[in-house]
Each structure stands twice: as structure tokens, then as C-alpha cells.
Amino acid sequence: MSIKKSSSGSAGKQSVIQATNLTFARNGEEIIHHFSFDVHEGDYVGVIGPNGGGKTTLIRLLLGLLRPTEGSIRIFDGAPTDAHVRKQIGYVAQRGGNIDAQFPATVEEVVRSGRTARLGLFGLLKSNDEKAIAKAVEMMGIEKFLKRPIGRLSGGERQKVLLARALVGEPKILVLDEPVDGLDPVSRDEFYALLRKLNKDGLTIISVSHDVHTISQEARSAICLKHQLVCHGSKACLIGKEELRDLFHKDRKELLHHHH
């Protein structure tokens, strides 16, 4: 693996994720092949690569939904499947805002479910839980939506609700899989602004994106899967034209699309 770093990287910060010789194969085909990387406390990492390059597979490995064929992932010095590790990770899924208009749950119920998941099926919410819920609701600015069915909100509003749901568990790492996919430009900008604030406040963020241009503006480091390239610095990977052509092939124009 080739690594590019600058002096403004994560020196002195605690490593919260360590992947070592990570490999994942399905039906005899290696989707991720022997690469290693570290994510440090407070990093904002963009995960980029062509379709089928292993981005979603990497996220599933981090969440403990898949197990490596070879190598290992350690998160806070534990396995992704460990209960204490799972509690430290918030997740917003791809197209999470694509919810049926008839879905009966209210915004408040959806947000609160993120806290009850942390407590377990029979856990009772206490005062500190209620404070965490209120903080996430205020941070996302969704107070006026609480009693409305989530299916009746716009895509951008739904993503704010689902981000609030992820945050009520007070995670130390936030993982997002194409979080702005399908959102209009204004909603995308608002969502990225929220992520910048969360990261500034110390939250470690790992965000999958097919949009290299936006990631180069938003993230401070990047993991590029097909080339197994990790870059660290004040911006994400600034890949040369030849490298970009080789990396993304037919997907190149799509990946370079600039939404702003």
C-alpha cells in the first residue's frame, strides 16, 4: 500500500481503528486484498473508490456484520462484534432517508429508538438518556418535527432524523454510507455542515462517498480501496489525472461530478 502523509496529520492522537492485512473474499473472489490502515481520534475520513471496489464491504467489516477472511480489525482495542465496541459506533445507512410515506413511526419514536438500542430491549430510559435525546434533537434542529410521521418529511429532513438517531447513543465514531445520496443540493450542503460541526467537536467520522470532488473538500483524509491507497493531510486524496483514470475507469465522470 502506498501512503501519503503531511505534517498536519493525526500525530499524537489515539488510534481508534487499526486494520491489519485486511482481506475479505466472497465465493473465492477477493473484494478487499491485504491492506492496512489506522483511523485516529477526531479524524474525518472519506472512503472512495469505484463501484464494486469494496467500499460497502469495508463498512460492513467495521460494523461487525462481516468477518475478515484474513487479517484483523481492532476498534478501541476490541473486535467490531464486541458489545462495548458496538456502543461506540453510530451508523447512518445508504438511502436511509428513502422511507415509505406510510411508515407509521413518528420522528420522536425513531430518534428515541437509537437510545433504547443502546440500553437493550428491557432497559428503561433515565434522566441522562433523556438529556442525550434532547441534545441530539436540538443539535439537528428537528424539534418542530417530533410528532410528525418520519415518512412525511423531505429526504433532507429524514437524514437529519436518522443522524440524530445515530447520535443519541453518544458514539465516538460515526459511520455513514453515501449519506447524501438522493438529496437536493441545499440538503446536501446542510448535511455536510452538520458533519463538519460534529467533527470539529471531536467526533470521528468515516463517510463513504462516490463523489471525489466533495470528499476532497469535506474530509481531511481518505481511504481509496481499489488502489489500496491511504492519504492523510489537510484535504483528502488529491489524485492525479492518470491515477484517477486508472482507478475509476468508466465511473470517472460520475465520481468527479461537483454538486456545489
Domain ranges of the chain: 1-88+201-260
What pLDDT score was predicted for residue 90?
94
What pLDDT score was predicted for residue 147?
93
Extract the C-alpha cell encoding 172: 465516538
Residue 206 pairs with which residues in a beta bridge?
A: 45, 175
Residue 30 pairs with which residues in a beta bridge?
A: 25
Extract the C-alpha cell encoding 161: 432524523
What pLDDT score was predicted for residue 195?
93
Low-confidence ranges of the chain (pLDDT < 50): 1-8, 227, 229-236, 238, 250-260
What pLDDT score was predicted for residue 98?
61
C-alpha–C-alpha distance, residues 79 and 192, integer Å: 29
What pLDDT score was predicted for residue 134?
93
User: pLDDT tens across 128-174, in order?
Assistant: 889 999 999 998 999 999 999 998 888 888 889 999 999 999 999 99
What pLDDT score was predicted for residue 248?
55
C-alpha–C-alpha distance, residues 206 and 55, integer Å: 11
**CATH number of the domain located at residue range(s) 1-88+201-260 in this protein:** 3.40.50.300
What pLDDT score was predicted for residue 56?
87
